[in-house]
């Protein structure tokens, strides 16, 4: 093991670092949140990282998607990200799938955690069902404007543990307002939420004070307000409720 991980040893020792090097995670979406999460994973030395995203880099992405540069515009995001991550830390094995997760659900097999960095609810709802039935921990996040959230989902561990549909049971517009297109977003806010999301994944892998299933962290970065709550399972949930399981 090289010296790049030396500052980790005081936190979780060499054994913890070997655990990270042996870990495999899937990151769905390599936009603003995805870039932040991926960079933090590579810095931490996660051994295998699966990236799923069909999109290409556009110039308007560059204010917050820091794995990309001007020369990346029009390139597939997964390959542009892979090049930067491999240059930054060759210890990490990067597996790229330039497609929608709906077209390659098998890629989450063998992954300890699935990381939802997507930006649309159709994909989030699909990913939620996929992880529920595959019994995969799902750590989801979203950000718009100066605010964002991270939620830790492990609905398979107990009858009280929720899925994403318990968190957002109706139409998405009833749960969240705005988007990057209509509400705007700044890179510093995205990086804050993405770093928290990455840390929750690392906690889950290392079993260092892992968050309770259903833990929701809401961040109002502009006003320095951080709140948390635990979401409970909805017995009438269309995915994990008692009538559906």
Q: What angle do CA 183, 153, 140 make, to 5 degrees?
A: 25
Helix or strand run (H / E) with residue 225: strand 225-230
For the chain, state the CA radius of gyration: 17
pLDDT tens column, 203-235: 999 999 989 999 999 999 999 999 999 999 999
From start to end of 29-122, where are the E strands?
Answer: 48-52, 93-97, 113-116
pTM across the whole model: 0.94
Give the separation between CA 152 and CA 132, rounded to whole angstroms.
13
Residue 123 gets which letter from DSSP? H
Count Cβ atoms below 10 Å from residue 16 Cβ, excluding itself: 18
Residue in this structure with the two tokens 């996929």, named with its chain if needed = 130
- Ordered structural domains, the chain, with CATH: 3-230 (3.40.50.720)
Q: With a cut of 70, say whether residue 17 has pLDDT above it.
A: yes
- Residue 144 has a pLDDT of 92
Q: What angle do CA 165, 54, 124 make, to 5 degrees?
A: 5
Q: Is 20 exposed, middle or buried (0-12, 13-18, 19+ CB in 10 A)?
A: buried
Q: With a cut of 50, say whether residue 71 has pLDDT above it.
A: yes
């Amino acid at each position: 093991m090289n010296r790049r991980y030396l500052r980790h040893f005081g936190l979780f020792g060499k054994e913890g670092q070997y655990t990270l090097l042996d870990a495999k995670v899937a990151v769905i979406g390599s936009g603003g949140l995805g870039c932040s999460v991926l960079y933090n994973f590579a810095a931490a030395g996660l051994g295998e990282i699966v990236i799923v995203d069909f999109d290409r880099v556009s110039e308007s992405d560059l204010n917050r998607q820091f794995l990309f540069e001007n020369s990346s515009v029009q390139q597939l995001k997964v390959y542009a990200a892979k090049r930067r991550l491999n240059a930054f830390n060759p210890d990490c094995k990067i597996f790229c799938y330039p497609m929608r997760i709906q077209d390659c659900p098998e890629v989450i097999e063998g992954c300890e955690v699935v990381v939802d960095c997507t930006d649309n609810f159709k994909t989030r709802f699909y990913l939620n069902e996929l992880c529920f039935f595959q019994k995969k921990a799902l750590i989801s996040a979203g950000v718009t404007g100066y605010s964002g959230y991270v939620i830790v989902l492990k609905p398979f561990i107990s009858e009280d543990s929720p899925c994403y549909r318990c968190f957002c049971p109706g139409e998405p517009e009833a749960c969240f307002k705005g988007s990057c297109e209509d509400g705007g977003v700044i890179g510093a806010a995205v990086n804050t939420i993405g770093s928290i999301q990455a840390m929750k994944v690392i906690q889950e892998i290392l079993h260092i004070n892992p968050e309770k299933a259903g833990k929701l962290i809401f961040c109002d970065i502009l006003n320095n307000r951080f709140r948390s709550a635990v979401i409970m399972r909805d017995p009438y949930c269309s995915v994990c409720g008692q009538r559906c399981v």
